[in-house]
Amino acid sequence: METKWDADRIENQKGKVVIVTGANCGIGYETALEMSRNGAEVILACRDVDRGMGAIQNIIEEIPKANLVMASLDLSDLNRIEKFSDQIHENYRKIDLLINNAGVMMDSLTMTKQGFEFHFGINHLGHFALTGHILDLLLVEGDSRVVNVASIAEKKAKIFWDDLNCERRKYSMWKNYSQSKLANLLFTFEFKRRFDSIGHSLKIVAAHPGLTATNLSRNVRKENQISDLLWRKMTQHQSIGALPTLYAAVGDVESGDYIGPDGIMEFRGYPTKVNSSRSARNVVSSRKLWEISEDLTGVEFNILA
């Protein structure tokens, strides 16, 4: 990108149907706001319906003609994900853009409905299952995209293959969160490879927001004992932090691209193509995680069979 890209450069999205998970706050809210500002129909897929409706009200106050739909989605329960998918199929013939944005960062060890560690279960497995369930709707149009929102936390992450759900090792919020963000990228790149093999035009792109002042980022500060002053200097407003996601969603990208901030250490700045860790590009690991994810969720991407 030769010039700085921002939300003012988003082209008309009228006629597009967009799903944003975790759209009630933070990066997800900003993404829903800008996509609706430019004419898309935006489905806010949120666990907390009241907060989701509050987000819709806030967007409408700024954009009175915004086309917004609230849909209940609990990524911690595979049955609820399937129910959400059924409702989407009942009401839509196509989805143009799926933004897998929702994420958690837990102070203590917590398990999902099916017994998965919360970070791995929600941040990765929940989005894996959701994508598989609505894949047919994403394939209706030729220019559809999936955007997986990762994190710079993946750069020092590892997959605990023998203990994905933290049943034996000592719990660490940071290690488990980082594992889930590495999983987001392994999923992205394996998804891209599999679609390349069948020659479909669906684009699968990843993005990360750098260090952005959201509800989730407060846990990063707490975990790493960062002072108020240093945190303010390191972080950026969520409207800027959302730009890599928005660029991945509508910008000039190729399938398999990874978009992040252009500043030092990718902490802040405007969107640009960035490099992932070697671990994220490990083909053996990505295939292994894909197979494990299919087994754990019971969701198979049938178009890839």
Enumerate the active-site residues.
177
Separation of CA 241 from chain center? 13
User: Do the beta carbons of residue 299 and residue 132 sit within 8 Å?
Assistant: yes
- What are 260's strand-pairing partners? 272
Task: Produce one character per residue of 141-151: b if its CB has 16 or more CB atoms within 10 Å, e if not.
Answer: beebbbbbbbb
Task: Produce one character per residue of 213-250: b if its CB has 16 or more CB atoms within 10 Å, e if not.
Answer: bbebbebbbeeeebeeeebeebbbebbbbbbbbbbbbb
Give CA–CA dist 104/114, Å, rounded. Answer: 17
Write down the H helix ranges in 38-77: 49-62
Give CA–CA dist 256/190, Å, rounded. Answer: 9
Residue that is written with structure tokens 């999205």 in the block? 13
User: Do the beta carbons of residue 8 and residue 19 sit within 8 Å?
Assistant: no
Give CA–CA dist 266/278, Å, rounded. Answer: 17
